[in-house]
Amino acid sequence: MAMVSEAKVNGSGVEAPADVLPALAEKPAGLPPGKYALVGWDMDTTGRRLIDEICQIAAFTPKQTYSQYIMPYGDLNPGARRRHNVRVVTVGRYRMLKDTNTHKILKTKSEISALTDFLDWLEKEKGDGSVILIYHEPRRLSPTMLLEALTRYKLLDRFKTIVAGFADSYALAADKCKSTVKSVSLRVLARVLLDADTLSVDSALDRATAAYRIVEHLAQGEQQEVGAGGEGTTASKDMVETARVWARPVHTELEALANFKKLLERQNTFRPVFAPLLRLARPERKRVTQLRRLLADAGLLYDQLKDAWQEQKLEGLEKQLKVLTVSAKEEDIKELIDIFDCHFDPAKEPKGLKPRIPNRTRVTSSAGETGEAEGSTSESQKTSTQNSPNKTNNDVKAEPSQNTAPEAVVAN
């Protein structure tokens, strides 16, 4: 897992600063001094878009753990099935969650029930202080998805009375271990710091445990080795202080969520242009997603480019896309100009990316994997409400218009 992506080059040929991962973009503000309980935490989801659902939520402390599988309304996309080794199966008239390694049916709850139980568990752990949730992720997507789910079920206010903030062990490890390891992925850190050569990262509980132990190890420094049976039963003062300094308050993550939603709204305005291109093969979809994200990050809207083309044709597009010269390569801008020019003038033949003509004779299609790309909507999510298990009225998904992603999506 690379810590930074390749540097981008602007139109003048001068290298621009590297596009740093969200976890490393800025140092966390930290939390004020106080009494905090530390909890390792992670989630498995049906995909990496904001509208995707939680299928497992887990938490770890040295004294006890919490783990609960959740029955999603939609199916897991292919990438999520491979990462988490679970899939949705239909047995008779009922949909169930199945472990693809053990082939056992997993005991599940609805999302609202699992989140309520999770808050009950956290409330017991916090004591007379507040909780800091420790997780390990380069793109800061998990807190965003958790807050979105809590908002959907009107549990956010209760969550804010329990949890003070989120501490990302990825950012902490990148700062503390930058001179000793090239990658700060969970597997590498577990092997180097925790002597765990065969760490499984399929389960959210395993990742939550590893994230907690990594912070524990880095807080202790060279005083003692962690991972060989010497873990403490409670968080030390040094560990609490380290997590406090590297934590982001809940309100900071809520601001990031609000900004991300605005970006998705701008991004979705380009659906008439990019929707056909998202049916291409996966490498082309990834390229299209990157180009669309450049436009959204620059604050551009579809109507702006449409008006510019109607008034001044190609010259109008070039003027509007000049704002990208700082953040995009020259070839990116040329490709965008070609895409929009051919979109507004259908008589022109695109030079680069071309929409794929569906081949109805194939049993499977590359469009089935569009769940990994921003802005795509899998067929399983369109029909999932009809195939869902017994549901309560509260278990209704509420993000109809934000069909975008992160991998980071959402991932870019």
Helix (H) or strand (E) holding 249: strand 247-249
Structure tokens at 88: 């949705």
Mean of per-residue pLDDT scores for the chain = 80
The Cα–Cα gap between 65 and 209 comes to 9
379 pLDDT above the threshold of 70 = no
pLDDT band at 156 (very low <50, low <70, confident <90, very high): very high
For the chain, how far is it from start to end, CA to CA, in angstroms?
14
Q: Which residues contact 10 (CB under 8 A, 6 or more apart)?
A: 16, 325, 326, 327, 328, 329, 330
pLDDT at 186: 86
pTM (2 d.p.): 0.76
How far lies 133's CA from each of 60, 122, 223, 242, 354, in Å? 10, 10, 24, 13, 45
CA atoms within 13 A on the CB side of 228: 5
**Secondary-structure breakdown of the chain: helix, strand, coil percentages, each rounded to the nearest 5:** 45, 15, 40
Among the residue ranges 265-279, 283-297, 365-379, the one predicted with the least confidence is 365-379
Taking only the tens place, the pLDDT of each residue in 14-48 is 333 345 677 777 888 899 999 999 999 999 999 98
> Within a 10 A sphere around the Cβ of 77, how many other Cβ atoms?
25
pLDDT classification of 392: cutoffs 50, 70, 90: very low
Query: Among the listed ranges 73-77, 204-208, 256-260, 366-370, which one has the minimum average pLDDT value?
Result: 366-370
